[in-house]
Amino acid sequence: MLPILEGSGLQCSKDLKSQRAVCDFYLAFSPERIDPGNRRFALADIPKIVGGVNSASAERARRLYERVFKRVMVVSSTQTAEMTKLLENICGAVNIALVNELKLICRRMGIDIWEVIEAAATKPFGFTPFYPGPGLGGHCIPVDPFCLAWKVRQHGMTTRFIELAGEINTAMQNHVAQTLVGALTAQGKAVKNSKILILGVAYKRDVDDIGESPALKIMQLLLEHGAAVSYNDPHGPQLPRTRRYNSSIFHSTPLDSPALEKFDCAVLVTDDSAFDVAHIVEKSWLVIDTRNATRSIASTSGKVIRC
């Protein structure tokens, strides 16, 4: 931004008392910090990180944001502010990748990863619980690790650990599809021509944002296997077209009993609070649960596969 603006003849002011307001500008960067669907924290309660290209710009930005946020933390540069955002999101991506890999290990060993996490979370120090799932979604966590990896290559280094975490999270959609294929095969059915219902297409519960949602990749994989795919999402009656998937051909299917019974399998991808999970399990022939949403429901003789 700085060379573009200065290329127009403007000068970035380094003096807060400058009177040349017509031609001077201040430039700062403040990363977005939001958690859609989280009602615990109001916008003003989330500390705001600000970094300026100089101290005058940082101070101007601080004054602006203090009108909205209860706390504004000024860091030394725009680069530090951006790296703060990357660290926050990469921390989440790496820890989710770790627990996703452990989920696969525990499944092979006959151990319930969700019980393991619940037990580990009783430790009052040194452990923060992260939970496995069908992969990452949203506009930040799936993207930021690879953004940093690209930038680091310009400095002659690689981010092997971070990129590996991204690969593990991306592979989880294939794991869900393979689990579904195996579950249908065990019932004497082929995935080709089977009717599959995807429950929840948003990237997280109780939001309508499908950005980078793992549900879209799972739907695409099942279509490639020849399945007849439908979806239900209380927040998305029709899906928009995305840059990678022609999802606009889908409309949300009702979740009444006759509708559930016509599907060979229901795949719970996003555990939206509007879903009556007990009813879904009761009326479905087979349920693939990627979020442990069925944990409180008694075992139903292999009818539910926790993936």
Positions marked catalytic: 140
CB-CB contact of 286 with 305 (8 Å): yes
**CA-to-CA dists, residue 169 to 104, 109, 158, 269, 287, angstroms:** 12, 20, 19, 14, 22
Angle between helix 78-109 and 160-186 (nearest 10): 40
Please list, in sequence order, all residues whose beta carbon lies within 8 angstroms of the beta carbon of residue 205, skipping any fewer than 6 positions away.
37, 270, 271, 272, 273
Q: Which residue has the tokens 């092979």?
A: 108
Q: Is 49 exposed, middle or buried (0-12, 13-18, 19+ CB in 10 A)?
A: buried
Q: Is 277 exposed, middle or buried (0-12, 13-18, 19+ CB in 10 A)?
A: buried
**CA-to-CA dists, residue 177 to 124, 173, 223, angstroms:** 37, 6, 10
CB-CB contact of 270 with 202 (8 Å): yes
- Token pair of 156, please? 């002659």
Is the CA virtual torsion 69, 75, 78, 84 positive or negative? negative
Distance CA 32, CA 35 (A): 10
CB-CB contact of 270 with 200 (8 Å): yes
**CA-to-CA dists, residue 283 to 219, 247, 253, angstroms:** 22, 26, 15
